[in-house]
Amino acid sequence: MTVEMGLWRAEGRTLSRIVPTSIGLESQLEGYIESDPSMLGEVLLIIGRQVATAYGGYIDLLALDETAAVHVIELKRDKTPRDVTAQALDYGSWVAGLGRADIQAIFEAYKPGSALEEAFAECFNETLPEEVNGSQTFTIVAANVDAATERIVRFLNEGFGVPINVVFFRHFADNGATYLARTWLVEHEGQQAAAGVSARQTKTREPWNGSDWYVSFGEDGGVRQWADGLKYGFISGGGGKWFSQTLKNLPIDARIFVHIPKTGYVGVGTVVGEARRFDHTMVEVNGVATPLHTLPLAGSYRHDGDVEDEKAEWAVPIDWTHAVPREEAIWRNGMFANQNTAAKLRQKFTIEQVTEAFGLDD
């Protein structure tokens, strides 16, 4: 059944229906959506407008949602029923083949001089996920559609789970004020795009260079203090298996980028020893191998029940390339942060920002 929206002016006990008009609406909708994409029902980051495909067409709008799935947004304008759905799916098939670098290039062409990572963080208050464009959602924007288009979209969405929908807008003018009303063809609860195919992750995720790692140095209640790690050359984590087990993944000679949560990046260095219990770790002090726990430390590095390895603090000796006090930490919106104590660092944006700030060779 074709969707119809109505608007009435209530004056006392009398209702007066306001007649909608579509004059000029579809030519304006692209600009409206670009200025406030939340009118489509969820927070979106526009990354491109009139994006040229490899096959000669132009996608009206491209956007990312908070999961970094790509939304293909097409205005119906004067397209035929066959064209409006076929074109959206055709564009989607092209978008599905884009890797992370392609998405970044589209955004950079749309917003020259801006970083996608920073824009994503500003929009969603989250770090850009490692996987970008793992799935796609298709939205057709229209003032109205014919029965054939409605039938095709419902067939694909409800019958086969294709994440395609139509959002309708009506334009109303009343006593000098104008209004837009919105509804969906298929009941909308935030379009859920299909899960991405793991085989595509090599394109949709930033490549890992095989050597760079992220390390979180959490200063938690005085247990752990960055001043110690800076002075004596180590990183640590513990108090539970979840906090210490990833440290054991750090290979010798790996390059690490150390981040203090809610503060910023404070050091870059090279792993020079395997992860061991804190009370078994040796570090070099003035050329002499010294038990770490015997040094004058600001932190306690103790946890309840830490007689057990899983609850103990674990440490990894580091040769600092460049490290600074926490007061000189660097942070830029959009840089990588993770709850794991150690994780592979794929995000080129973070590596570039830290490298530049610390004056390191790339």
For residue range 34-46, list pLDDT tens digits in order.
Answer: 998 988 888 899 9
Alpha carbon separation from 192 to 46, 61, 92, 163, 205 (Å, rounded): 18, 18, 15, 7, 20
Average pLDDT, the chain: 88
Residue 89 reports pLDDT greater than 50: yes
Element containing residue 121 per DSSP (H, E): helix 116-124
Q: For the segment 195-210, what is each residue's pLDDT rounded down to a tens digit?
A: 444 445 556 778 888 8
**Domain-ending residue, one of 148, 174, 204:** 204
Let me know whether 237 and 141 are in one domain: no
Residue 172 reports pLDDT greater than 90: no
Residue 335 in 3-state DSSP? coil
**What CATH number does residue 20 fall under?**
3.40.1350.10
Q: For the segment 282-317, what is each residue's pLDDT rounded down to a tens digit?
A: 999 999 999 999 999 999 999 999 999 999 999 999
Let me know whether 218 and 189 are in one domain: no
Residue 270 reports pLDDT greater than 90: yes
Let me know whether 188 and 221 are in one domain: no
Beta strands in 175-263 (DSSP E): 177-184, 212-216, 234-238, 255-260
**What CATH number does residue 347 fall under?**
3.10.590
In a domain? residue 251: yes
In a domain? residue 49: yes
Tell me the C-alpha distance between 206 and 348, whole Å. Answer: 8
Full-model pTM = 0.70
- Kindly indicate the confidence band of residue 56, based on its pLDDT and cuts at 50, 70 and 90: confident
Let me know whether 280 and 189 are in one domain: no
**Domain-ending residue, one of 169, 204, 239:** 204
In a domain? residue 296: yes
Let me know whether 180 and 45 are in one domain: yes
Let me know whether 195 and 216 are in one domain: no
Let me know whether 186 and 216 are in one domain: no
The tokens for 157 are 């969405």
Which structural domain range is residue 94 located in?
A: 7-204
Number of structural domains the chain divides into: 2
In a domain? residue 328: yes
